[in-house]
Structure 1
Amino acid sequence: GILNSVGLQNPGVDHFIKVELPGMKKLGTVVIANLGGGTLKEYVEAAEKLSASDVDIVELNISCPNVKCGGMAFGIKSETAYKVVKAVRGKCSKPLMVKLSPNAEDIVDMACSCCKAGADSVSLVNTFKAMAVDIKSRKAVFDNVTAGLSGPAIKPIALRMVYEVSKAVDVPVVGIGGICSWEDAVEFIMAGASAVEVGSANFIKPDVCLDIIDGLEEYMAEENIEDLEEIRGII
């Protein structure tokens, strides 16, 4: 797995819309903007700007720490997440996907609350809260002590959560967590995922998504699968 503690490093929503987005749109692909914020006001203001832009989908990252509530992430308690999603929904006309934290008190209840608040889809899971210790310095490796764990190490748990959530909600579920191959993608699809996201594997092989697409097509041909709906949620 991979441990990271870099926060959400980016130049801000205004820079993204003005400088980065035009180039992305020229590629002819769907652009999903991942939105994070430290306060409810930040979420709403940024969502309003993205709603007026050319992005196709807004992915609301509720794993961010709420600076007004002692740093607890917005995605831990269902009531807090509901308020954020509801407020953003009121200002965002774009399809709204909510990225869920595996550290939530109850991932299924969290997903249901977000859907009730207006989410068009949910993606899960974000990184798990973890840590590492340097036995030479006798200190935590990261200044913040804890860090986010992603990659293959979390896949079995992420898969279980996707399975449980997909059975509980009526919106598309996007699977995330340790997907490194087409086989991993198929597992998530069989567990109920409508689509998957690939993160950590890109650091190892930047074109891994192309491999996953090719492998998926070959698998479908070999298994005489004409449409992924034939195996989606089959578990």
Structure 2
Amino acid sequence: MTEIEAVRFTVDGPVARVELYRPASLNAQTPRMWDRLREIGRELRGDVRCVVVTGAGPSFSAGLDRAVLAGGLAKELVAMPGEEGDARIGEFQEAFSWLRRPDLLSVAVVRGHAIGAGLQLALACDFRVLSVDAKLRMPEVSLGLVPDLGGTKRLVELVGYGRALELCLTSRAVGAGEATAMGLATLAVEDAELEGTAEDLVAALLSAPRSAAIEAKALLLGAVTASPAEQLAAERAAQLRLLAELTGEARS
């Protein structure tokens, strides 16, 4: 199996499915897999509304494949001239960040472990449905590194600065129950119910009119950094666009 085949991608109507497929290595990730994820984000059809992200086998993802670091990725990035290293990490980040686009709703279906890059991939999604045996962990700092795939912002948004700092600096594992209680997970269910629960969530998400769903997601994404006045203005603009669409009247 090539590394590009280690990311399986299918589309069924408005739902796209992305599966990490390296079960023998607990879906450990590589830069080539990130390249493929980035390509999927760029190639996604315009009629896709929801993306479901899963991992084959007993674990969602054990994070970055340690063999990649041992193989010289760190030295390669540091040795890149000028801003090339920064740009390359930016490409890695893009592999995850497209899941936050306002026109998409993304669901991570997590069983087993979601560690490091695996947790950051789950955090990139709008919703996380966990099996009760799931364990989440952010170990980068313990390795002398930092989470650099978008995970720091999402972690603070979901659990707050203090808890996010504690999770990063201690690298401790968080079980499904605690993850749900602190807001890291949307739902936690028995393993046998995991796929069915995720499908029910997808169906519920697709029941919302697309234009309203896009506007609502954009508003909520912007609310994190907008001032109260800016958020009120954004709500007014979004509502007027939707009213114009509902009535078929062009705004003057």
TM-score range, shorter chain: 0.3 to 0.5
TM normalised by structure 1 equals 0.34
TM normalised by structure 2 equals 0.32
Which structure: larger Rg?
2
